[in-house]
Structure 1
Amino acid sequence: MDYLGIDARPDDAITPQAEGDRDGMTGRLVSVDLLRGAVMILMALDHVRDYLMDVRVSPTNLEVATPALFFTRWITHFCAPTFIFLAGSSAFLAGTRGKTQGQLSLFLLKRGLWLILLEQTWVSFSLTFTMPKVILALILWAIGWSMIALAGLIFLPRALVGAIGIGLIAFHNLFDGLRVESSGVGSLLWRLLHEPGFVPLVGGIGILEGYPLIPWIGVMAVGYAFGPVLLLPPDRRRTILVALGVGLTLGFVGLRALNVYGDPRPWTVQATPLLTLMSFLNCQKYPPSLLYLLMALGPAILALAWLDRLPRFLAGPLATFGQVPLFFFLLHLPVAHGLGVAVAALRGQPVGWLFETAPFQSPEGYDNSLATVYLCWVVAIVILYLPCRWFADVKRRRRDSWLSYL
């Protein structure tokens, strides 16, 4: 499997009993590629929406967001947790291919640094079409630093790695009320680990921290501990996935219903049942709360048990995207941004703000309908399919070392 720079095809670890739901040519676990492809497509929806709608109308603000806008945003909450969880699993699978712990640790360290570098170069430019005067600390930053943390954690017993991950996920909300207002190294470190926002450095340059690291490191560690499940025979694996997926989902519902812990944003009874449901599901992503992660990972793991039964016309494109996730990620950003510029120009809307440094601030009156968002999303997926199919074919045919970086 390949996940954002981790090339971990577990071919040598496949037993005869486990081959039934794998690609016969590559040994890849089909359901993992399908899940990854599905969440990549959803991620594209979220980023297309960013460039087409007024950023001041928050999809999570129930006072201004319509149900359609809320659920357009909510469905994309499955993306980041699934990305990072599968990255941890792929790290484990990379270790099943004959690597020593030292080799795997170095592998994770290099991949983590590579992703952080990509965030500050290609990703920064693609998001803004200029070089921003900020250090972006977004999804590749979180994955990169989580890999670097995992590079050290893998020297511990796998069960302990999983326990540390669970602890980081389960207990980081105990510190939600802690705010560090002072300057200095300690304050900077705390902001990077748990408190999102802009962290000023020197000369007007700062860090735009969107993905505080503590819970994301936990998700990757848990994914690493989960890795052996993917090597089990299909029936046994499916049983575990269903039990775990249902358990996490029910855990979310039960803990959320109590309204006592797990998210700094309590739900409230609203004017209608639909609005009450929206309040119930409206969990915090920055940083991801315990309940946010339960809400996302439970259904994702459950889907992993059944996705290999999709009809071929759906499975084919999903698998193609899922086989080249980093390539898709790097390509979809300028495509989404370019579509935003094209729509604004065609409709006579302001365009200049789409070439400004992050964070974005759309001008007064800038907005497009959700129908336009969904249409442009479909256009983006169509544009991305052929290059992704081409690159997936290249990776099947060749084993050049540089390919593992894309």
Structure 2
Amino acid sequence: MTTTIQQRIQSIDILRGIVMVIMALDHVRDYFHIYAWTDDPLNLETTTPELYFTRYITHFCAPTFVFLSGVSIYLQSLRKTTPELSAFLLKRGLWLIFVELVIVAFAWSFNPAFERFPLGVIWSIGVSMFLLGFLIRLPYKLILGLGLVIVFGHNVLDFPEATTGFQGGFWLDLLHSSKWTSYEIMDNRNLIIAYPFLPWLGLMMVGYCTGRLFSPQFDILRRKKLLTQMGIGLLVLFVILRSINVYGDPVAWSPQRNGLYTFFSFMNIHKYPPSLLYMCVTIGCALVVLPHLEKLENRFTKIMVVFGRTAFFYYILHLYLIHILAAISFYIHGHTLEKIAEGESVFKWKFVVPGEGFGLLGVYLIWIFVIVCLYPLCKWYDTYKTKHKEKWWLSYL
């Protein structure tokens, strides 16, 4: 039985590691691609298939990670009492919100004045964990029902939000409707709402309930069958709803100049906030892949397990490493600190000059370099965690 449990956890870590590695590609593109700050890689008027794929593949990262976080929380519930797990989620949720506002905010900007506080993926995970700390006291079926209602029903809000002159306001933006809305919270200090939390909370709740399939008493063959059926079902639902073009995503697809770009339009779903169709295609693929990772063991999966087991540690390190490399590139291009001071507020201290950078080949080479540099650090940290399980603070990292 112990072996089976370990295999199940390892499959989750493999998939989590894969999406963490892919995620770094998008962040490298943000800092190094020549058009990263002058055009949208999903703009069908200007993108190329290679650039579109480079951006699109990273869509799978945030939802898969949030969903698997829910699964992992359920697995923790098998070895912790409800009060213990609730207290842990409340504290870790608040810790992650702090990390987003301080450690991650500085990693993105390198601005010592802290002029911008982005509410990104770590914030969304933190607030979802905090709220789940209360929700896990509810009956399992009620948590599942509420999670499904949020995931499948939150796009109802798209209709009033699409009306002319609609103003959501701070709380609705924080809940659902924000599209990188900026709010001044004090002089020269702005809060940027990138990830409104409602749909992410619903996804984590559904992930938590899906975690029951990974409990020791659940038959492995039945679990594989159910995960595959659920994944295929979500992909079929995506195709049906996307074809109807009425509900599930705020931006409709349309015929383009050729079949390939029409397909790009069909697949171009909304991430901010994550639409139902965005979650269907990303989680659908994740559920189809997950069963095939359970007994897969080779050099690649062993590396991905390391990244999956040290995901938070990896996340913080990769942001700082990528930004430091961007600063080095900035100086290599002959710029000085005065160039930073002259930039618009969004680019101050960012060490990014819009329209300056590398092509996709350069982006991919830097991405590979980042992953190679991070692996030994993550390997060391994974070993350290394994040998020092008595240290309570490690569970927060």
Q: TM-score, normalised by structure 2?
A: 0.90
> Aligned residue for 2:386?
396
> Aligned residue for 1:6?
none
Q: Does 1:331 align with 2:317?
A: yes
Matched residue SS, 2:160: coil
What is the one-letter code of the residue matched to 2:45?
E
> Aligned residue for 1:139?
121
The Cα shift of 1:268 comes to: 0.9
Matched residue SS, 2:64: helix
- Give structure 1 regions of 4+ aligned residues with deviation exceeding 6 angstroms: 180-183, 354-358
Q: Does 1:22 align with 2:6?
A: yes
Q: For residues 150-172 of structure 1, what are the alpha-carbon distances to aligned partners after superposition, in whole Å with 9 as ceiling and x for unaligned?
A: 11211211111111111111111
Query: What is the distance in 2 between the residues matched to 1:310 and 1:30?
Result: 9
Q: Does 1:40 align with 2:20?
A: yes
In structure 1, the gaps of 5 or more residues are 1-15
Distance 1:94 1:20, change over 3 A: closer
RMSD across aligned C-alpha pairs, in angstroms? 2.3
Query: What is the distance in 1 between the residues matched to 2:283 and 2:341?
Result: 33
The Cα shift of 1:350 comes to: 7.7
The Cα shift of 1:257 comes to: 1.2
- The answer on whether the counterparts of 1:146 and 1:220 sit within 8 Å (CA) in structure 2 is yes
Matched residue SS, 1:194: helix
> Aligned residue for 2:263?
277
Query: What is the distance in 2 between the residues matched to 1:83 and 1:294?
Result: 14
> Aligned residue for 1:126?
107
Correspondence for 1:78 among 60, 63, 80 = 60
Query: What is the distance in 2 between the residues matched to 1:114 and 1:242?
Result: 35
What is the one-letter code of the residue matched to 1:263?
D
Matched residue SS, 1:135: strand
Q: For residues 107-165 of structure 1, what are the alpha-carbon distances to aligned partners after superposition, in whole Å with 9 as ceiling and x for unaligned?
A: 11000000011111211111112242122210111001111111121121111111111
Identical columns (%)? 39
- The answer on whether the counterparts of 1:44 and 1:377 sit within 8 Å (CA) in structure 2 is yes
- The answer on whether the counterparts of 1:44 and 1:332 sit within 8 Å (CA) in structure 2 is yes
> Aligned residue for 1:267?
253
Distance 1:212 1:360, change over 3 A: farther
Query: What is the distance in 2 between the residues matched to 1:21 and 1:358?
Result: 50
Distance 1:203 1:66, change over 3 A: same
> Aligned residue for 1:244?
230
Query: What is the distance in 1 between the residues matched to 2:205 and 2:235?
Result: 20
Distance 1:296 1:353, change over 3 A: farther
The Cα shift of 1:277 comes to: 1.0
What is the one-letter code of the residue matched to 2:124?
A
The Cα shift of 1:72 comes to: 0.5
In structure 2, the gaps of 5 or more residues are none
Query: What is the distance in 2 between the residues matched to 1:21 and 1:273?
Result: 45
- The answer on whether the counterparts of 1:331 and 1:384 sit within 8 Å (CA) in structure 2 is yes
> Aligned residue for 2:87?
106
